């Protein structure tokens, strides 16, 4: 069963700093080697490393940097046969500052250009499997030469067995996004995104919202404290693993990819959630946006070594 990942791929330019300066302030930063990244691309690479069939779609310009990003995905076992290209749009880059064990990410605006999906891509998406994406990308999807677009397009794909996983990260969702989220298999928030959406930190109080929007599972990641979820009415909690943190970039992407992989393998939701927390915890002990890239045996061996 192939999973489609629709979202960003970018060159991640890394810098370290002793502190994060305020407005009208100045300070020095140290440059680290740049790496291919992008949140959804990171998730796709992790999913492929776990052995999942992985397709990736983004909208890139026709520059040498875009060629590099596509080639890197292919080298990591991710298919880019459905990639979209459009001359003249901005380069895809992220500026990532590592400060005090945390990270600050600044992303160049890529615009709101529609992402027209040609007939071959629509046909591939109209097969059973998972679709991992964001609201930012879902709002831009449309059927090339057809009438389907945005939420209606997702509804059509669901009718054909495509199960959607939304990574809402820090942005959360507004009521205007309900049509996109309706019927999703999984909606993932981190703590910031959950609070931005609901105005509180009580997972149980989100149960009515989950049910009203027809969402099967709602997940909140909690960094070193693991994750908790509403799974068709029951509450699950998986504690985190205490580790020496090297770089938290890509931890959420690793979590989402590992969860999607587990569900795609037919694992129970609780087992998939356990595995996702372990994969994400392992990922922060390594530098780089794709520190979570590992085979299933590597993740399980890391977990076993921790007792």
List phi, psi (to 5°) of 216.
Answer: -70, -45
List phi, psi (to 5°) of 108.
Answer: -70, 135
How many residues appear in the chain? 307
Can you read off the two tokens belonging to residue 300? Answer: 């399980």
How far is the C-alpha of 262 from the C-alpha of 201, rounded, in Å? Answer: 27
Mean pLDDT of 224-230: 96
H-type helices in the chain, by residue range? 39-49, 64-75, 119-125, 135-138, 150-159, 178-181, 191-198, 207-212, 251-264, 269-283, 296-305
pTM for the whole structure: 0.92
Mean pLDDT of 169-193: 95
How far is the C-alpha of 258 from the C-alpha of 252, rounded, in Å? Answer: 10
For the chain, what is the mean pLDDT?
95
Split at pLDDT 50, 70, 90, the class of 110 is confident
CB 85, CB 118: distance < 8 Å: no
How far is the C-alpha of 235 from the C-alpha of 227, rounded, in Å? Answer: 11
pLDDT digit string, tens, across residues 22-80: 999 999 999 999 989 999 999 999 999 999 999 999 999 999 999 999 999 999 999 99
CB 37, CB 11: distance < 8 Å: yes
The pairing of strands 129-133 and 141-143 is unpaired
pLDDT at 183: 97
Q: Structural domain boundaries of the chain?
A: 2-19+31-305
- At which residue do the structure tokens 């990574």 appear? 167
Split at pLDDT 50, 70, 90, the class of 247 is confident
Least-confidence region, from 16-25, 96-105, 210-219, 272-281: 96-105
pLDDT digit string, tens, across residues 127-173: 999 999 999 999 999 999 999 999 999 999 999 999 999 999 889 99
Residue 307 has pLDDT above 80, yes or no: no
Split at pLDDT 50, 70, 90, the class of 11 is very high
Can you name the CATH fold of 2-19+31-305?
3.40.1190
């Amino acid at each position: 069963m192939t999973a489609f990942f629709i979202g960003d791929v970018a060159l991640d330019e890394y810098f370290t700093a002793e502190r994060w300066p305020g407005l009208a302030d100045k300070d020095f930063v140290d440059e680290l080697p740049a790496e291919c990244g992008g949140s959804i691309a990171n998730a796709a690479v992790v999913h492929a490393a776990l052995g999942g069939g992985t397709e990736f779609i983004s909208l890139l310009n026709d520059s040498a940097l875009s060629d590099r990003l596509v080639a890197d995905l292919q080298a990591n076992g991710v298919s880019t046969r459905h990639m979209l290209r459009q001359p003249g749009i901005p380069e895809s880059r992220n500026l990532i500052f590592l400060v005090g064990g945390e990270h600050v990410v600044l992303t160049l605006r890529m615009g709101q250009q529609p992402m027209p999906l040609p007939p071959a891509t629509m046909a591939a998406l109209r097969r059973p499997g998972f679709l991992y994406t964001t609201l930012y990308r879902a709002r831009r999807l449309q059927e090339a030469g057809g009438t389907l677009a945005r939420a209606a397009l997702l509804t059509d794909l669901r009718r054909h067995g495509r199960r959607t996983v939304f990574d809402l990260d820090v942005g959360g969702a507004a009521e205007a996004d309900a049509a996109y989220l309706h019927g999703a298999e999984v909606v993932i928030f981190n703590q910031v995104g959950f609070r931005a959406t609901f105005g509180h930190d009580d997972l149980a109080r989100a149960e009515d919202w989950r049910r009203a929007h027809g969402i099967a599972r709602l997940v909140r990641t909690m960094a070193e404290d693991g994750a908790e979820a509403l799974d068709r009415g029951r509450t699950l909690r998986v504690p985190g693993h205490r580790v020496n943190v090297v770089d938290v970039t890509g931890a959420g992407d690793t979590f989402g990819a590992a969860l999607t992989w587990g569900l795609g393998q037919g694992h129970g939701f609780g087992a998939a959630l356990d595995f996702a927390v372990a994969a994400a915890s392992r990922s922060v002990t390594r530098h780089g946006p794709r520190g979570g890239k590992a085979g299933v045996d590597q993740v399980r061996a890391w977990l076993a070594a921790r007792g």
